[in-house]
């Protein structure tokens, strides 16, 4: 089957980068750009923190990469504090999988990335999952990513024809402080990123949700000034 190749040949191979608009994925994009021509994708799933999509656009534009927002059906990834306004975002740490977990989110995201990779002729997908300073989501663990990659290599025409798709997770074993130092070295402007699970429309962070706490601790541990705009003072 002949696939259209809307992106013309480049000096570097093409990678598909999942760009949420947060700190981690902005860092991944900067890492990927060292060796790849990048096509960034974001998802609109009516997430509570929709401000992250504006952040993603800003990051993609300032990085000079192709970017698109893929629209998902509102009625699928439900029952999470990130998709249901009736469920409060916790402002203290919790045990186990938290209520901010979104059902099958990374599987749906990576499945779309797989389609985009196949259509555009890319063998590399980048995702900013992390299993150190993270919220305990099952679909951020290394064993999950390895299983997705194995499945993906059986799923597509590219795989049948001998192509080898790689799910690249350059952050998976890094601490938040290490991620931030890496990004600073690569020139990432973290003021553009939005990590907060309940950011307001202007992208200002609450400072107290799990994602804000991980981010704040990371800047502190890295000894780097935190450029996050908070809407109330962090406790």
Question: Which parts of this chain interact with a second copy (CB under 8 A)?
Answer: 1-4, 68, 70-73, 75-80, 96-99, 101, 103-108, 110-112, 114-116, 118-119, 138-139, 141, 143-144, 147-148, 150-152, 154-157, 159-161
CB of 178 to a second copy, least distance (A): 25
**Does residue 89 contact residue 48 with C-beta atoms inside 8 Å?**
yes
Nearer to a second copy, 62 or 107 (CB): 107
CB of 139 to a second copy, least distance (A): 5
We find the least distance from the C-beta atom of residue 80 to a second copy, in angstroms, to be: 8
91 near 206, Cβ under 8 Å?
A: yes
Distance, CA of 167 to chain centre? 13
Strand order in the sheet with 14-18: 66-71, 37-44, 14-18, 124-126, 166-168
Q: Rank residues 124 and 178 by Cβ distance to a second copy and give the closer one.
A: 124
| Residue (35 or 107) nearer to a second copy, CB | 107
Q: How many CA atoms lie within 13 A of 104 on its CB side?
A: 8
- Closest to a second copy by CB, 28 or 125: 125
d(CA 224, CA 102): 31
């Amino acid at each position: 089957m002949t696939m259209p190749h809307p992106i013309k040949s480049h000096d570097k191979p093409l990678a598909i980068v999942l760009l949420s608009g947060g700190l981690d994925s902005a860092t991944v994009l900067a890492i990927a750009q060292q060796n790849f021509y990048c096509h960034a994708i974001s998802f609109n799933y009516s997430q509570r923190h929709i401000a992250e999509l504006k952040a993603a656009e800003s990051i993609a534009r300032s990085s000079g990469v192709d970017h698109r927002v893929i629209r998902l059906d509102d009625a699928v990834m439900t029952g999470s504090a990130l998709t249901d306004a009736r469920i409060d975002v916790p402002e203290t740490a919790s045990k186990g999988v938290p209520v901010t977990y979104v059902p099958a989110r990374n599987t749906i995201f990576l499945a779309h990335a797989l389609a985009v990779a196949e259509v555009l002729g890319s063998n590399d997908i980048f995702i900013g999952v992390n299993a150190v300073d993270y919220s305990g989501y099952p679909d951020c663990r290394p064993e999950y990513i390895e299983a997705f990659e194995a499945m993906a290599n059986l799923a597509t025409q590219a795989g049948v024809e001998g192509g080898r798709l790689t799910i690249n997770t350059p952050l998976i074993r890094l601490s938040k402080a290490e991620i931030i130092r890496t990004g600073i070295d690569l020139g990432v402007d973290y003021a553009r990123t939005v990590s907060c699970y309940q950011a307001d429309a202007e992208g200002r962070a609450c400072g107290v949700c799990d994602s804000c706490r991980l981010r704040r601790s990371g800047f502190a541990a890295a000894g780097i000034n935190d450029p996050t705009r908070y809407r109330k003072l962090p406790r």
